[in-house]
Structure 1
């Protein structure tokens, strides 16, 4: 199993902007066969070093993660994030 985690800091951290982006991310659920699970959480601490959104996804293999990266539904998310993201960091690991 491969776990893929991405943290997003948005240009606009308003609750409305964060919720809109959460919905864009959650919209992938059930639309990408390779995506085994998806969890989207929002920051509750709101510290200076906090990111706004955490995305945790799981895949059976690296091949499935690679297929997800180029899937049309994921490309829609990439386009949205290019508009709203200030910064992001990620980690991928075997779980």
Structure 2
């Protein structure tokens, strides 16, 4: 009888661990933050063009959320307000983010909008734990 119970207990423990890992993964997301410094710093038309182009990223499969906006000027020493536009995208995982990076709509926006208008781009990717 004990020989039968041990495999059953091990299987149940394994299922519990997989279930817990899945629940933990459901509580995380991947954030992709892009900071842009314009060639013509402060140009409102160029800022607007980048923000409007970012809206189209919502059409790319596996993109959960897109937001973009202009820098908030700050006198606080800890705040870097030297950039012009920030874009933030949310994905379920890094595979989804990588698919977005290879999507033709993203590549087209980079070539036709970002590269002509932007002198510097800095990207921050991180795994967000959602509470």
Tell me the TM-score normalised to structure 2 length.
0.66
Task: Pick from 37, 45, 69 the counterpart of residue 16 of structure 1.
Answer: 45
The RMSD of aligned alpha carbons is 1.7
**Take 1:67 and 1:40, find their aligned partners in 2: how far apart are those partners?**
20
Gaps of 5+ in 1: none
User: Of Structure 1 and Structure 2, which has the larger fraction of its residues in helix?
Assistant: 2
Structure 1 consecutive aligned stretches of length 4 or more whose deviation exceeds 3 Å = 46-49
Aligned pair partner of 2:94 in 62, 72, 89: 62
Structure 2 unaligned segments of length 5 or more: list them.
1-28
In the superposition, the TM-score normalised over structure 1's length comes to 0.89
Query: What are the superposed Cα offsets for residues 17-69 of structure 1, whole Å, 9 maximum, x if unpaired?
Result: 1111211112222x111110011010131889510001111101111011000
Does residue 33 (structure 1) correspond to residue 65 (structure 2)? The answer is no
Aligned to 2:124: 91
Q: Tell me: higher relative CO, structure 1 or 2? Use CA pairs within 8 A at least 6 residues apart.
A: 1
How far the C-alpha of 1:7 sits from its partner, in A, is: 0.3
**Higher mean Cα deviation, 70-79 or 38-47?**
38-47
Which structure shows the bigger proportion of residues in strand conformation? Answer: 1
Give the number of aligned pairs. Answer: 94
Q: Which structure has the greater CA radius of gyration?
A: 2
